[in-house]
Every structure is written in structure tokens, then in C-alpha cells.
Amino acid sequence: MTASNPIASRLAHFLAQHLPYSNLSEEERLSLTSQARLQHLPKDGIFFRAGEQQTGWVYVVYKGLVHLMLHGSIELFDTAEPGDTFGIRAVLSGKPYVMTAICAQETLAIAIPVERFMPLLQQNARFLSYFAAGLASGMLPRYQELDTLQQPADLFFPEAVSLASLVSNRQLVWASPDTPLPQVAQLMLQKSVGSVVLTDAEGKVAGILTDKDLRRALAEQADPLRCKAADIMSKPVVCIAPTSSWLEAYLQMTTHSIRHLVITADGSPATAPQAVVSEHDLLGSSSPALISLLRRLSNATDTETLAHLRNQAEIRLKRLLQNNIPLQTLSQLAARINQLTVEVAIRLAQQTLPATPAHGWCWLALGSFARHEQILRTDQDNALLFADELTVQRPALLEFARQVNRILETCGYQACPAEVMASNSRWCLSLSEWKRQLSYWIDTPEPKAVMLTTIFFDMLPVGGDISLYKDLLAYRKELLSEQPRFLSFLAANALSSPPAFNWLGELATESEGSHKNQFDLKARALAPYADIARLLALQHGLEENSTSARFHQVAQREPNHTILLQDAARAYEHLLQLRMKRAVAQADSGRWLQLSSLSPLERQVLKKALMPLRELRSIIQVRFHTNLFRP
């Protein structure tokens, strides 16, 4: 085949450089390319349109760039660059295309006949698993599907949370035990699930087949074409009632050393299955050990114990990160841990410094802590606000602040290199002094003043008299209403960050220095999103601190941009979780990303998570006339 068809050989060689084709044999790649064709389209050329029946081809970009657009939308949904496959969803579902594939530049694509592609999916479980894993994990769909778990309302006391609330929006996916294994794998792919319940002729539970069972079968060299679901399914199945609590489910899993429970009407295999609850679902709603840890943390009586328990909490958070727990859960949990730690540090400092005023002050957390985004410990950002009548006691308050900062440093929160801490006399001020400081920043928006507002405008009261904080917040709102032009300077500052994409539409990396060819997750992604969310929240007079919550609240007030803002919220959560996971894996800040270490799928997801940012920047530029304002 190679000698008689040199074009097929060249195309097969190209595919060998890209997943999942690199995992195929040379013969399998040639089977795909032997009847493939090269399709050339100019810029703005269209491979297929949303609503059209599938063309009979699966496409792989050879050269160029393809944009995938939702029907009736001008918003970019996805991109396909060299080595990326597109058009496969319609092939797998048998339904019309849901997107239009338009060339962002002159493009050459390998068009593989569906009749060559589908047999390989059915015969090669590893080839199928690549597409199944991507679709089932929620990493290929739209931004809002980056997080798919619905979280219970009470994170910290889940014993009262029923299983029904965890799976209320989930449909049962089932099959017969006699179903061939490739069909079960394809069902999991199409339904985006990690398990299938197998039922007998009476509709009762016969077994369960999970993605782990599939991987085990592949590892044991089982022939997927000869296997049926019954050959590798797990049985007997442990069932549980929907009214059972989280704690009951947790004990069942640990007792039986399993990771899935089937929910039936009465909790027995004798009734029809309703849903499946996984260990991942339960991890997403915390655990008894964590509950115990939080309680011991809040009751710590000395700095050494507090530091030890905070270290234990950090280990737990890292474990949850590695288990892909959604960011919403991690943020709430980390925020609770951080708040408890500071509250106890304040109490311990008061006990050692009896001269500290008991009332009339408020401890303020700043930056990522205030935004509930400090999932892993970083350096401290805090300040102290006190009533005007306590000005004469400033020395005692400064000593108190120094003691709290020292305790927090012992607990793993490093001192801020820029000294943005309450122990710095610049940031230990009376209410009147803080008001004068805010007035100066807003009335005189020089670059340093604007930069400082990005820190101090993310503010959260952690201990003391919250009424002082509310007074200061109301004053800030009044100032901004009197000086709306300040928001334009804040907008210009938000747009001053380096772009996420270069002029070719590729992810931009550093061109020199110690991080050459690396992507800066903080400066090019997270900080711009946070800056824009803060800006829009201030424009609408919102008091929310969390970046994703700010986007969601603004979305309710801007119907023309609702989808974009919701996409931005979820994209930001994905990027923050990516950074945290990298920080754990690399034992560093997680800021710098080596793009070559990402799989094609991971790189595609990263690009997708940055797309709302590009559109938001355009909106901000027009809305706030940033070309006229420079910080």
C-alpha cells in the first residue's frame, strides 16, 4: 500500500505525529488514509454548516486553522489546528452538524471516509477511548460543561444531604448484559458517563460496568470484539435508597471497597435502578474526616496546634485537587479553612496581647483570599480598619496586627513581599484615614494608585466589627458614582495585561528569559479575567468578591452578554483549577505552563477557556473608551 500510494503514506506519517492516531499501528493509519483526500479551502471557506447532514467525512487539519461556530452565533465555540479532528460528533451521533466549520485562514484538511473511520472505532477500544474520554469528561463540550457536578447546598455538614439531591438531574444509562463491549463503550461516549447499569429482562440490576472495568479488560488484553458486558461487569451490585444520606453512602463504599452505588427505589436489587452515585460525587461534598478536621481547627488553643491542623488541611485540599473535585467545591472549602485559620489566629493574638482593644476594629482579607480563590496557601494580603476613636491606640493595634501576621506565617501563609499586611502602618488605618486613601486613589488615578485598587477593592471582613467594613464599602460606592471616569482607568489597566493569543491565533508564550516558550497562566489568563470581573461588578454596584460569582451576577444584569459572561465564569474556574493542579504536581506556584507538556486535547481545552476573554476585552475597550484613558 505504501509503494502504490505515496500520498496515503505521507498522510499516515502526518497522523502518526498526533493523538490518537499516534497510538495506531502503521497498517491502521494507512487504512484511514488509503481512501482519504486532501481538501483545500480558502480563508472563510466552509467545510460544513450547522443543521446540515454529516458529509460522510471525518476531518483532520493538515495545515491552517478552522473555527467552529454555533448556529446563529458570531461567538467562536472551538478551534481546530494541525492534527486536530473535527466533524466527529455528527458522525458518532448520526445527527446533523450543530456547528459551522469555517476556515480562519487558508486551510488544507485530510478528509477520511466515515466507512474507514467507524470500523476502527469499533475494533480498536483504545482509539475509541480517546474520543470517549474527551467527551465523557466534559472537556470537549461548551465552556459551561467544564464543571458538571451539581453541588449540595451544605458543604460542611453533608450527613444530612440526601443522595437524591446529588443526582437529581442525572438520567440512568443502562444496557443488557449481552450487549457487545464496543457498543457499551460507544454508549458511554454518547451519554458522557463513566458507568452503565446492566439490567436483566425484568429491569432489575444485574451488574454495573464502569470505565475502570473497561481499562482493566484492556490491560488484561481482552478482545473487545468478542467480549460482552457480562464478561467484565462488576457484580453483585451494592444498592442504596435515594433517601439515604451522604454518610450512609460513604460508609457503604468504604465497607465494600467500591466506588459506585446504584440507587433503587427501596435500596435493594429487587426494584428498578434510578441512578448511580460515585465516589467522585461524594468526594465533591466533603467527608467525615474533613468535618472533624474543620472542627478541630476552629478549636485550636495554641499556634503549634493551629499550624499542624492547617498543614493537614493543605494536604487534604491537594488530594481533592488531584481527584478533580470541581472548583466551586474547592473554593468554598478552602475559604472556610482560611477563614477559620485567621479567626483562630486573631483569637490567639488577643489572648497573648490583653492590651488589644476588644472592639472597634475590623480585620480585612485582601486579594485572592477575599475572592475565595486562595485554594492553596500563598503570601498574606491583609489590612486593619479601626474606628476613629481608637487612633490613640494605634501602637497596640499595630502590635496586635504583627502578632496575627506572625501566627499566620507560622501556619504557612508567607509574609507579603510588598508588605501589604496589617502590620504595615500604611495599611493599619482608621476609618477616616481609609476614606481619605480611597478618595486619593480614585481622584488621582496614577498607575500605582490604580494597581493598588486592584488589591484593595477585593476586600473581605474576617474578624471584628463588620459595620466598619460596610461603612467603608458604602463610601467607596459613593466615590465611584461621583467619579465614573475612574472606571475607564481601571479598564485600561485591565487591558494592559499581555494577550493570551499571538497574531497567528496561537497561544502566546514568553519570547525570552527563564520562562521562554512558557505560557503565563497568571498574567495572560487569570489576572485579566479577574480584573474584568471586578471592573464590571464595580460598574453595576455589586459587592460580590468571587470572580466567577461576579461574572454570573453581571450576566443577570446584561442580557445581551449573558452567555458570554456565564462562559467566562466557567472558563475562569477551569483555568484556576488548572493552575492549582499544576502547583501541586510541580511543587511551585503553577503559574508557568510548558505547552509541550500538554496533550492536544488539553491544549484545545486551554484555548477554549481563553476565548471568552478575547471577546470581553473588545467589549471593555469600546464601553470604557480605553483608548482615551491610560493608567
Q: Cα separation of 611 and 142, whole Å?
A: 11
- Closest to 377 (Cα-Cα) out of 585, 591, 580: 580
User: Whole-angstrom Cα distance, residue 3 to residue 381?
Assistant: 67
Residue 215 has pLDDT above 90, yes or no: no
Q: What is the pLDDT of residue 283?
A: 61
Give percent of the chain above pLDDT 90: 49
Rounded to whole angstroms, how far apart are CA atoms 529 and 525?
A: 6
Q: Please state the separation of Cα 36 from the chain's center in Å.
A: 38
Task: Give me the pLDDT at residue 249, please.
Answer: 77
pLDDT at 285: 53
Rg (the chain; Cα; Å): 28
Kindly report, residue by residue over 277-294, the tens digit of the pLDDT: 887 777 655 455 666 677
| Pairwise CA distance, residues 631 & 444, whole Å | 10
From residue 206, alpha-carbon distances to 184, 199, 234, 550 in Å are: 15, 5, 9, 47
Give strand pairing partners of 459: 366
Q: Directed axis angle between helix 327-352 and helix 303-322, to 10°?
A: 170
Rounded distance, CA 129 to CA 118, Å?
A: 13
pLDDT, position 157: 37
* 23-47 b/e (C-beta count within 10 Å ≥ 16 → b): ebeeebbbbbbbebeeeebeeebeb
Q: What's the residue count for the chain?
A: 631
Mean pLDDT in the chain?
85
Helix, strand, coil % in the chain, rounded to nearest 5: 50, 15, 35
Average pLDDT over residues 82-87: 87
Query: Cβ neighbours of residue 17 under 8 Å, at least 6 residues apart?
Result: 83
**Residue holding cell 505525529?**
17
Give the model's pLDDT for residue 325.
67
Give the mean pLDDT of 532-543: 95
User: Which of the residue ranges 223-237, 261-275, 371-385, 544-558 would you say has the lowest mean pLDDT?
Assistant: 223-237
Q: Which pLDDT score is estimated for 130?
A: 62
Q: How many CB atoms lie within 10 A of CB 418?
A: 11
- Distant-in-sequence, close-in-space partners of 137: CB < 8 Å, separation ≥ 6: none
Determine the Cα–Cα distance for residues 350 and 590; give it in Å rounded to an integer.
36
Number of alpha carbons in the 13 Å side-chain half-sphere of residue 423? 19
List the end-to-end C-alpha distance of the chain, in Å, as a whole number. 64
What whole-number distance in Å separates Cα of residue 85 and Cα of residue 19? 10
With 80 as the cut, is the pLDDT of residue 630 above it?
no
Q: Which three cell numbers stand for residue 623?
A: 464601553
- Cell numbers of 221, please? 488484553
pLDDT > 80? residue 169: no
The DSSP bridge pattern shows strands 195-199 and 107-113 to be unpaired
Alpha-carbon span 522 to 518, nearest angstrom: 12
Q: For 103-155, what is each residue's pLDDT tens digit?
A: 989 999 999 999 888 888 777 766 776 665 444 333 333 333 333 322 333 33
> Per the structure block, which three cell numbers stand in for 125?
477500544
Residue 51: Cβ within 10 Å count: 12
List strands edge to edge, sheet with 37-41: 37-41, 107-113, 57-63, 85-86
Asked which of 69-78, 248-257, 311-320, 387-396 is least confident by mean pLDDT, the reply is 69-78
Residues 90 and 372: their CA atoms lie apart, in Å, by: 40
Cα–Cα distance measured from residue 250 to residue 528, given in angstroms and rounded to the nearest whole number: 40
pLDDT in tens, 11-54: 999 998 887 888 888 998 999 999 999 999 999 999 999 888 88
What pLDDT shows up at residue 158? 44
Give strand pairing partners of 41: 107
Per-residue pLDDT at 146: 35
pLDDT computed for residue 298 by the predictor: 87
Give pLDDT, residue 75.
54
Which is nearest to 203 in space by CA: 172, 159, 245?
172
Mean pLDDT in residue range 338-347: 95
The reported pLDDT for the residue numbered 68 is 84
Cα 437 to Cα 441: distance, rounded to the nearest angstrom: 6
How far apart, in whole angstroms, are the C-alpha atoms of residue 28 and residue 21? 9
Q: Average of pLDDT values for 481-503?
A: 92
Q: What is the reported pTM? A: 0.61
Q: Is the pLDDT of residue 254 over 70?
A: no
Q: Which of 82-91, 215-224, 459-468, 508-517 has the lowest average pLDDT?
A: 215-224
Write the DSSP string, 445-481. --HHHHHHHHHHTSEEEEEE-HHHHHHHHHHHHHHHH
Secondary structure class of 413 (helix, strand, coil)? coil
Find, among 133, 147, 162, 167, the residue nearest to 276 by Cα. Answer: 167
**pLDDT for residue 276 is more than 70:** yes
The secondary structure of residue 234, as a DSSP letter, is B
Find, among 524, 491, 529, 533, the residue nearest to 622 by Cα: 491
User: Is a pLDDT exceeding 80 seen at residue 468?
Assistant: yes
Task: Say what the pLDDT of residue 112 is.
Answer: 93
Q: Give percent above pLDDT 70 in the chain.
A: 86
Residue range 548-579, pLDDT digits in tens: 999 999 999 999 999 999 999 999 998 998 89
Reported as a single tens digit per residue, the pLDDT across 387-446 is: 999 999 999 999 999 999 999 999 999 999 999 999 999 999 999 999 999 999 999 999
